[in-house]
Amino acid sequence: MGGSRKDWVDAMDVNVICKDTKLPSNRYEVVFRTAQDGILILEHPSGKIIDANDYFVNLTGYSRTDILHKELWELGFLGDRDRSIRAFKELLTKNYIRYDNISLRHITGRLVPVEFVSNIYPIDNSLQIQCNVRDISDRVLAQEGLFQAQVQLVEMLFGAITCIGQLVEARDPYTSGHQTRVAKLAVAIADHLKLSSDEIICLRVAALTHDLGKTMISSRLLNKRLPLSPSDWRKIKSHPRIGAALLKPLSGRFEISRVVGEHHEREDGSGYPCGLTAVSISLLSKILAVADVVDAMTNARPYRPAFGLEVALDEITKQAGILFSKDVVKVCTQILRNKNFTLQAGVNQ
């Protein structure tokens, strides 16, 4: 049936229609019985079922005798009795309710996803309730298929991102596995801070590509064993800006480019490339900064040996609130002192 009061009145007022148009007097009955949506007619205000069409009977597996003269919430097909009563009270108050995706329980126990719409209409100086129930199984299956396709697309994206990371690290053997380890730690911190799934995806991609800008820097310079000159440092310090520029087309609704560009910024403004202070640095960038420093300190570089985990944790703790976010440092320290977390493993998220 239609979704407006006029539709219902037109359909029910068959005597007037038949006089004017000479249509058969059983027009309402034919439409009601053959509709390809389930339709229930309820008594107002009791909620007792006074009619149910064939489609609804087939949808639930109950016989018409089982259904008629029962209150809507007496029957098990709506599942939660208390929720059904609350919904009915809402209907009596608002004259209209809609649920886009609820489960209707077939008499066999099988759950059928349905769209459930109820309206209250005035008919012959009284009120009556019409419930339309539409089987949306095909729609739900299509949505599940779309979700699976999206999952596969994300997996392909991360495969491509991992390849990019490997390209970066191939030019600098001292940083082999660095971006993967940083991503694992950064995601663990973000998860502990209860960031959204979108934020975690953004952070993971940024962590896996945060040194992409180094592909534009000479491998001779990246692997230089002697102390770096001021000119060398200026070139090295350009990699966040270069990486951000390279990743800008990939960012979309995420801030991947921004996070990569800020991962060497520091709370007190002493970082690079822009000298941003705490209020201007995104939380994701602050997380990446801590994860990056911890992994860098616990692994050797051409110009120095590895410092070890405890030295790295002591350093970030000393610099909490100065160079690094206090909250991020606190969480990072808790995670790395937890024996269930191993920094050397790959990304498991």
Closest C-alpha among 75, 53, 105, 134 to residue 85: 75
**Whether the Cβ atoms of residue 169 and residue 176 lie closer than 8 Å to each other:** yes
Q: 3-state DSSP call for residue 119?
A: strand
For the chain, percent helix, then strand, then coil, each to nearest 5? 55, 15, 30
**Amino acid in the structure at residue 55:** Y
Residue ranges of E strands in 44-159: 49-52, 96-105, 111-123, 126-135
Q: Which regions of the chain carry the CATH code 3.30.450.20?
A: 5-135
Query: What pLDDT sits at residue 172?
Result: 64
- Nearest CA among 302, 322, 303, 299 for reference residue 311: 299
CATH class, range 150-336:
mainly alpha
- Which among 248, 237, 331 is positioned nearest to 286, based on CA atoms? 331
Considering only CA atoms, which of 245, 268, 252 is closest in space to residue 319? Answer: 268
Confirm if 184 and 348 have CB atoms less than 8 A apart. yes
Question: Which tokens hold the place of 251?
Answer: 């960012």
Over residues 277-305, the pLDDT tens digits come to 999 999 999 999 999 999 989 886 766 77
Which contiguous run of DSSP H or E holds residue 315?
helix 309-318
The answer to whether 333 and 316 are in contact (CB under 8 A) is yes
The model's pLDDT over 108-150, given as tens digits with 9 standing for 90+, comes to: 988 899 998 999 989 888 898 999 999 999 888 888 888 788 7
Q: Which entry of 184, 194, 214, 326 is annotated as an active-site residue? A: 214
Q: What is the pLDDT of residue 15?
A: 37
5-135 falls under which CATH superfamily?
Answer: PAS domain (3.30.450.20)
AA identity, residue 10? D
Tens-digit pLDDT string for the chain (349 aa)? 344 444 443 444 433 333 343 434 577 788 888 899 999 999 999 989 999 999 999 999 989 888 899 887 777 777 677 878 888 889 999 999 998 878 888 889 888 999 989 999 898 888 989 999 999 998 888 888 887 887 677 677 777 777 776 777 666 666 668 888 999 999 999 999 999 988 998 999 899 889 888 888 887 787 777 777 888 888 989 999 999 998 888 766 679 999 999 999 999 999 999 999 999 999 999 999 999 999 989 886 766 777 888 999 999 999 999 999 999 999 999 999 887 787 764 443 3
Place of tokens 């229609």: 17
Q: Where in the chain is the domain with CATH 1.10.3210.10?
A: 150-336
**Is 214 in the active site?**
yes
The whole-angstrom separation of Cα 254 and Cα 252 is 5
Estimate to the nearest angstrom the gap between the alpha carbon of 18 and the chain centroid: 54
Nearest to 212 by CA among 250, 169, 152: 169
DSSP per-residue string spanning 218-237: -HHHHT--SPPPHHHHHHHT
The alpha carbon torsion through 53, 58, 60, 66 (nearest 10 deg) reads 60
Q: Which of 149, 119, 140, 139 is nearest to 5 (CA)?
A: 119
Structure tokens at 232: 């060398």
pLDDT (0 to 100) of residue 4: 42
Rounded to whole angstroms, the Cα distance separating 349 from 345 reads 11
Hey, which bits of 4-125 come out as E strands? 38-43, 49-52, 96-105, 111-123
pLDDT in the model for residue 80: 72
In whole angstroms, give the CA distance from residue 307 to residue 312: 7
